Amino acid sequence: MITHSDDGPDFEPDDPLAVILRPASDYLGPPPGRYEAIRRGAARRRLLRAAAGAGLLCAVTALVALPVRLAAPDRPASPTVPLAPPSTSSRPATPTPSPSTGPAESDAGGPTEATEQPPAASPDASTGPSAAAPSKPPADSVAPSAAPTEKPSTTPTPTPSAKSPSKGPR
């Protein structure tokens, strides 16, 4: 394409285009207070635009977040406290030594359980087994042999009745 020189006017002085393309010569002064009014209007328009943008952003965020939240599983599984001890296999080790030392008064650290056990089992068989049953079942396998032999006078009847069933099935 041919580019035409435009540095100087491309038309003759009597060209009608010279009339058309003459620069604007008439001026129209602003009315008083027009500048402040324009500035205020521009600031208000900018503010409105910002508010509309923020509102739009909130709406879009809500539209995106709501389905995601509804689609997610109801609640994360809350950590529940186990009601019973997890396993009984670890306990047998502690009670087993107790019978060996326990029979003769047994005041050491290990026998503390054993010391509490005989009174708990002896006065009332109903509460004793219920509290100690989960942790003590393996221990009972050894305990009966000691309990009847050690204290026949105090609790003769309850111990055989409580221990014999536990021993039987095992």
Say whether residue 4 binds other proteins (CB under 8 A).
yes
- Which of 10, 6, 30 is closest to 20 using CA atoms? 10
Of the pair 36, 105, the CB lying nearest other proteins is at 36
- With CB under 8 A as the contact rule, the residue among 8, 16, 33, 86 that binds other proteins is 16
Radius of gyration over alpha carbons of the chain, in Å? 49
Distance CA 41, CA 22 (A): 33
Of the pair 37, 64, the CB lying nearest other proteins is at 37
What token pair was written down for 19? 């009339």
Q: Determine contact, residues 99/110, Cβ cutoff 8 Å.
A: no
At residue 9, what are phi and psi to the nearest 5 degrees?
-65, 140
Q: How far is the CB of 63 from other proteins (least distance, A)?
A: 25
Q: Considering only residues 48 through 77, tell me which ones interact with other proteins, judged by CB under 8 A.
A: 49
Interacting span for other proteins (CB under 8 A) from 38-46, 72-80, 81-89, 133-141: 38-46
How many residues bind to other proteins according to rule CB under 8 A? 36
Of the pair 40, 134, the CB lying nearest other proteins is at 40
In this structure, what is the dihedral angle of CA atoms 19, 25, 31, 36, given to the nearest 10 degrees? 100
Site residues (CB under 8 A) for other proteins?
A: 1-7, 10-11, 15-17, 19-31, 34-35, 37-39, 41-43, 45-46, 49
